[in-house]
Structure 1
Amino acid sequence: MNLARAVLSCLMASFFFASAQTLTDPLATSETLNLYAKLSKLSGKAYLVGHQDALAYGVKWKYEPGRSDVKDVTDDYPGLYGWEIGGIENAAALNLDSVPFDEMRSFIKQGYERGGVITISWHGDNPLTGKSAWDAAPGSVAAVLPGQTKHAVFVKQLDAVADFLGRLKGDQGEPIPVLFRPFHELTGGWFWWGTKGNTAEEYKALFRFTVDYLRNKRQLHNLIMVYNTSNGLKSKDNFLERYPGDEYVDLISFDAYQRGEPELSKSFAKSLDHDLSILGKVAKERKKIPAVGELGYNQIPDTRWFSKTLHPVFKKHQMAYVLFWRNAGFKAKENEMEYYVPYIGHPAAPDFRTYYQAPETLFQKEAAHLKLYQKD
């Protein structure tokens, strides 16, 4: 880590917001409170850079101790680690991306002990139909609410989620704080909790019940709750149409993926800038932390995408983190490669190293300097 970046890490407090947001859980653990306070103070000067499944696998490798495509390219781990627990509701040994849950718990602890941040999403199966999260059968959300036909099924799923989250512990037995991102991309119609056949009020009730159950019934006080829409935000009102309320949300975000040819990078940057502007306005008014929940450009055909498309936009906005999606490698079923961060030898690897060196991007080494789980 060069001197300029070391100085940035040590003096990060000078870039903090004047007024911090308040965590919604009054019984949150000290580590969770400290993490939230420091995330809330991260200004537009810097943000954590994350990667989904970073420690489990990458392009042309799986389960090699200490390895990460991000580390291969930058000699540093991401500052944020994304994980997925879809499948836990069925007592499966592997998640829906074939990551063993026992291994995942170990990876989560490794990231936490290094001083990184953990975020978890949940593509749970549809309780109404028993099919995958992508079975957007109308009436799915209504069916799982209290007093309805599939409520007991959904509660059983939540218990499995709570069991997993409750077993995430540090070396001293303390619960590991988690940015929990359930029912994400809620403004799309492709998941059972999405807009297809579900009303805004039903979604709000689903989110509220989930938070209340995990927090009050299961006594999980290590969760920072994330409200996460799709991209293409039309307005503040549009973003908040299914918002469950300030007392249930700690962090707000959206997911964004570039599609098509590199010539479309300029239009993607414009759209990203627009969405971050709306997100920032909502965050300021609601006193919530803004972030980018998922981001990527599969196979990165634009070799300067990180420094020329993303970086100029991100410099203009306040956000706590951005999470790049997973480097799945070759997917036999789809007969295609999938990766969103360059690996050694990829044409975009030099550009990602340039992005890494930007003073605004915080990876593992700088996250450790910030001591995110300790009180200032």
Structure 2
Amino acid sequence: MKRLFCSMLVCFFGISVVGAQNVAPINPNASKEARALLNYLYKISAQKKTLSGIHNVIGRMSENVDDLYKITGKYPAIWGGDFGFADSTHDIDNIKYRPLLVPEIKKQFANGAIVVMTYHQANPVMGEPTPFEGGVISKLTDQQWKELLTPGTPLYKKWCAQMDLLAAKLKELQEAKIPVIFRPYHEMNGDWFWWGGRKGSNGFIALWNQLYDYYTNHHHLNNLLWAWTSDKPKLGVEDFFPGIDKVDLLGCDIYPQKDVEEVYPQEWYDRMHKLAGGKPLALTENSILPTLQQLKKQPWVWFMLWSEKSFKLNKTEDIKTVFNSKAVITRDEIKPIYKNRK
């Protein structure tokens, strides 16, 4: 049966047998839509092409997608979104907009977009709504961290309640047969977010495994592809990697460093490429667009510009050049990934 399934993938998607053997999601019960999406990403990776994308804050939904269209005449292939964490004092991430999220994702998916979801989760000690600095950017004590990872404790229950809210939205998408590339707890090799900077088996990796188990075995969310996405992949990023069998995709968030001209060192790409072990590798947050020459040397499976910052830091002509390149895929160029897609 496994051989037959791999043969079908080869025929339908036109990828090699080697690629087909590596295409199974880490969740053995992953939906057919999630499997098809992962297979498509393997295909793009093998072709050394890059899907275009942009993140959209929950308070402005798809304004950034529309702004890109106004500039380039094309929509990005990837629609990125977030679940929010704040109140009206930081309205772009206001949790009051959550009821609008699923309808917007359904619209974007119907239009052909691939969905990537980020979650800037509030520190579970504080709960939500919370400010970004002092709430998402905050610390847990070692004792609080231990409690968070201990089922049945008050802090663990608070964490579960937060994750249940997001799970309810993801279940709505699952019922609509919409797969989601899910990138929880990003930039974990940094020490700014409350989940970051903790090495070892009882550190970040334990939290990653706890969430995967909770969403997969408790909530039965089978429409997710699990994307592990670090901050700048400097030496030591490997200490936060849960293992090749615990992730579907890898990626990293890269922004310019102060007083450093080179934005995308080849060393970083090579390190992540080695860590990926053949799994799709993405540029999961960026502000400066990589040039076409850089994409040739570093063929990320996608890039995701970070909201309005992208328009301030890139020249209009450079945006047009990248989005109109044959090496970069926009929404109109995505061939049907799912057999039931209209």
| TM-score bin (small chain) | 0.7 to 0.9
Amino acid of the structure 2 residue aligned with 1:350? E
Alignment match, 1:6: none
CA distance in 2, matches of 1:276, 1:95: 32
Contact 2:200 2:239 in 1 (8 A): no
Shift in Å at residue 96 of structure 1? 2.2
Distance 1:76 1:145, change over 3 A: same
Amino acid of the structure 1 residue aligned with 2:165? A
Q: Structure 2 residue aligned with 1:114, among 111, 115, 129?
A: 111
How many correspondences in the alignment?
315
CA distance in 2, matches of 1:194, 1:290: 21
Alignment match, 2:171: 166
Alignment match, 1:353: 320
Distance 1:141 1:251, change over 3 A: farther
TM-score, scaled to structure 1? 0.75
Deviations 1:292-326 (CA, angstroms, capped at 9, x unpaired)? 111114xxxxxxxx4xx532122123432111101
* Structure 1 vs Structure 2 CA RMSD: 2.9
Q: Gapped runs of 5+ residues in structure 1?
A: 1-11, 298-305, 328-338
Tell me the SS of whatever aligns to 1:187.
Answer: coil
- Alignment of 1:177 with 2:185, yes or no, is no
Tell me the SS of whatever aligns to 1:353.
Answer: helix
Tell me the SS of whatever aligns to 2:19.
Answer: coil
Shift in Å at residue 14 of structure 1? 6.5
Amino acid of the structure 2 residue aligned with 1:133? V
Contact 1:35 1:374 in 2 (8 A): no
Shift in Å at residue 95 of structure 1? 6.9
Alignment match, 1:34: 36
Deviations 1:16-53 (CA, angstroms, capped at 9, x unpaired)? 78424321111111111111111112125311110011
Deviations 1:185-210 (CA, angstroms, capped at 9, x unpaired)? 000000110116x6553211111111
Contact 2:171 2:221 in 1 (8 A): yes
CA distance in 1, matches of 2:126, 2:84: 16
Which structure has more relative contact order (CA 8 Å, sep 6+)? It is: 1
Tell me the SS of whatever aligns to 2:240.
Answer: coil
Q: Gapped runs of 5+ residues in structure 2?
A: 1-11
Shift in Å at residue 283 of structure 1? 1.7
- Alignment of 1:155 with 2:146, yes or no, is no
Distance 1:232 1:37, change over 3 A: closer
Contact 2:58 2:92 in 1 (8 A): no
- Alignment of 1:278 with 2:271, yes or no, is yes
CA distance in 2, matches of 1:98, 1:128: 18
Deviations 1:230-269 (CA, angstroms, capped at 9, x unpaired)? 10422xxx332122233321111110011557xx44x223
Contact 1:15 1:45 in 2 (8 A): no
Shift in Å at residue 134 of structure 1? 0.7
Equivalent runs, 1:47-196 vs 2, <5 Å: 47-53=50-56, 57=60, 68-87=66-85, 96=93, 100-130=97-127, 132-139=135-142, 140-147=144-151, 148-168=153-173, 173-195=175-197
Deviations 1:151-192 (CA, angstroms, capped at 9, x unpaired)? 1111111111111111126xxx53310011111000000011
CA distance in 2, matches of 1:213, 1:350: 45
Distance 1:183 1:205, change over 3 A: same
CA distance in 1, matches of 2:141, 2:273: 32
Contact 1:48 1:322 in 2 (8 A): yes
CA distance in 1, matches of 2:65, 2:245: 39
CA distance in 2, matches of 1:310, 1:289: 20
More helix by share: 2
CA distance in 2, matches of 1:33, 1:13: 12
Alignment match, 1:291: 282
Shift in Å at residue 56 of structure 1? 6.7
Amino acid of the structure 1 residue aligned with 2:244? D
Shift in Å at residue 116 of structure 1? 1.4
TM-score, scaled to structure 2? 0.82
Q: Structure 2 residue aligned with 1:320, among 294, 298, 301?
A: 301
CA distance in 2, matches of 1:16, 1:55: 39
Shift in Å at residue 217 of structure 1? 0.7
CA distance in 2, matches of 1:138, 1:16: 48
